[in-house]
Structure 1
Amino acid sequence: MSDIDNCLTLLRVCYTWEFQLRAFDFQYFCGLANSIRDLIFSLLFGKKKPAITLKDPTIKYPLKLIDKEIISHDTRKFRFALTSPEEVLGLPIGQHIYLSAKIDGNLVVRPYTPVSSDDDKGFVDLVIKIYYKNVHPKFPEGGKMSQYLESLRIGETIDFRGPSGLLIYQGKGEFAIKPDKKSAAVIKKAKHVGMIAGGTGITPMLQIIRAVMKDPKDPTLCYLLFANQTEKDILLRPELEEVLANHPSRFKLWYTVDRAPDGWEYSQGFISEEMVRERLPPPSEDTLILMCGPPPMIQFACNPNLDKVGHSSARRFTF
């Protein structure tokens, strides 16, 4: 007799149990019969989890560039093929990958958070801002990895490694957060998640926002305060505003820019106490604040103003 025949026989037995037990109103045993029945249905008809590319976080996986999309004058979306068209990347929500390459004879490693997810089979997408040479006086050489990616040709590969990171979003407001790499994760629950992002620090926020909104049973509310130098620098704006249009009661979005154009309807300037107070959820044990951006922004703008408003350091996390 095959495994399927055995399962079907057991299923018939479970239905018989349920009928007989319901006659005596033995609710506990009926629930048990239902659980066994559901398990059998899952074994027979449940979807198998797809294979993943990132099987070992210590191994580098060379992935091939298959598409490059120009988003703006200095921003690109790079699409890399996974090792099989039926695989997903295998990146938990809140985690990132590392790209590594030999550039001018030196190994360069940089962290990135994909904008694609494990719903996407066969590829991974990265949206990356290119920091060119001789543009910013403080960084005359520009960004080594971003310029290397800009020069990468279709069909060429770069090494991926991961997953990595101290935070995993487990769904329905539950975050597993490690104080450091060697410590066990601490579970923190939140009904309200405030997010402060600067520039390219938007990518882990979008990853979490999408995961929350995808689940209609997830009661978590997300509030994003997104800082950039100019309106043109706002990365992934169409994607964010699509989420806002689809989930206006669950997602709140606010921008601030250093140099605002005429008619700008959002804030101008650095992250301030007023912005934190008005655009993020109030301090409570149900609130968690996530931050990702340049270290000076976190150190001199975010944390001091979160302190002023009364957000506990125990209810904050910086990517």
Structure 2
Amino acid sequence: MELFDGYSLRIEIVGIVVAVFAIAAASTYLFFTKKSKEVIKPYTPTTLDSDVGYFELVIKMYPQGRMSHHFREMRVGDYLSVKGPKGRFKYQTGQVRAFGMLAGGSGITPMFQVTRAILENPEDQTKVHLIYANVTYDDILLKEELDALASNYPKQFKVSYVLNQPPEGWNGGVGFVSKEMIQTHCPAPAPDIQILRCGPPPMNKAMGAHLDDLGYTKEMQFQF
């Protein structure tokens, strides 16, 4: 499926009959060789271990991106080398009472996967509070899916959108994610909560400073 400046890709796992991307928020490494040089890039699938036989990626396209250019040239039926999962974050059911999530752009993918893992497990009552920042409305990835989760699990999942350049009539957040937004939408500092963040480096740095100022300890924070 083509998005505003990206694609949602489904990749079939050939010759493997079990789910191999079962670790929520772990990265999958895609790679190909061009002119004797290997190009490799990590992506976080939006699918779970219950999605057997394939995995899906949401990918932003960049004019100078070598992997982006390769994806543009690929056609249905082409092969791509994959390895993984790999990552420092390994979610376990009930590890915290609540998550706050601060995402920017394609940084939504690990948040989406963790959120799905929580909400689709009837034994997991963890609450999730997501703040998702983008430049324009058309930049919002997975909006339909996020809104559906918020509608289907209103007691567990809340999502707040923030735009730098909002359209006329926009009633969400405007500008950059602020300390006030975090205080309003995320769980307060406590030993049984965690704030996850994933976005462009400047955003990650700013969010880390906000969280420190608001009293979130290092143990309460995780950056993908």
The TM-score, its normalising length taken from structure 2, stands at: 0.95
CA distance in 2, matches of 1:217, 1:228: 32
User: CA separation of 1:276/1:104 partners in 2, compared to 1, >3 Å: closer, same or farther?
Assistant: farther
CA distance in 2, matches of 1:277, 1:242: 24
CA distance in 2, matches of 1:211, 1:240: 13
2:78 match: 156
2:213 match: 308
Give percent identity, aligned residues only.
37
CA distance in 2, matches of 1:110, 1:152: 16
1:171 match: 93
Asked if the contact 1:103/1:144 (under 8 Å) is kept, the reply is: no
Asked if the contact 2:101/2:186 (under 8 Å) is kept, the reply is: yes
Instruction: Compare the two structures and name the one with the higher helix fraction.
Output: 1
**What is the CA distance between 1:101 and its match in structure 2?**
1.4
**Larger relative CO (CA 8 A, sep 6+): 1 or 2?**
2
Q: Deviations over 1:177-200 (max 9, x none)?
A: xxxxxxxxxxxxx10100001100
Q: Deviations over 1:115-171 (max 9, x none)?
A: 121111221111111112xxxxxxxxx211122112112221111111100011111
**What is the CA distance between 1:85 and its match in structure 2?**
6.8
Q: Deviations over 1:246-295 (max 9, x none)?
A: 00110111011111111111111111111111111111111101111111
Asked if the contact 2:4/2:139 (under 8 Å) is kept, the reply is: no
Which entry has the higher C-alpha Rg, 1 or 2?
1
**Residue identity opposite 1:166 in structure 2:** R
2:139 match: 233
1:109 match: 40
1:215 match: 121
Q: Deviations over 1:6-64 (max 9, x none)?
A: xxxxxxxxxxxxxxxxxxxxxxxxxxxxxxxxxxxxxxxxxxxxxxxxxxxxxxxxxxx
2:161 match: 255
Q: Which moved more, 1:84-93 or 1:263-272?
A: 84-93
Asked if the contact 1:289/1:316 (under 8 Å) is kept, the reply is: yes
1:22 match: none
2:108 match: 202
Instruction: Give unmatched runs, 5+ long, in structure 2.
Output: none
Q: Which moved more, 1:112-121 or 1:80-89?
A: 80-89
Give 3-state SS (helix, strand or coil) of 1:207's partner. Answer: helix
Give 3-state SS (helix, strand or coil) of 1:77's partner. Answer: strand
CA distance in 2, matches of 1:312, 1:305: 11
CA distance in 2, matches of 1:115, 1:310: 31
Give 3-state SS (helix, strand or coil) of 2:203's partner. Answer: helix
User: CA separation of 1:73/1:232 partners in 2, compared to 1, >3 Å: closer, same or farther?
Assistant: closer
CA distance in 1, matches of 2:55, 2:159: 26
Give me the CA root mean square deviation.
1.4
Give 3-state SS (helix, strand or coil) of 2:150's partner. Answer: helix
CA distance in 1, matches of 2:13, 2:110: 20
Asked if the contact 2:4/2:138 (under 8 Å) is kept, the reply is: no
Aligned length: 224
Instruction: Give unmatched runs, 5+ long, in structure 1.
Output: 1-68, 133-141, 175-189
Q: Deviations over 1:42-95 (max 9, x none)?
A: xxxxxxxxxxxxxxxxxxxxxxxxxxx22x232212111112373323431121
**Residue identity opposite 2:141 in structure 1:** L
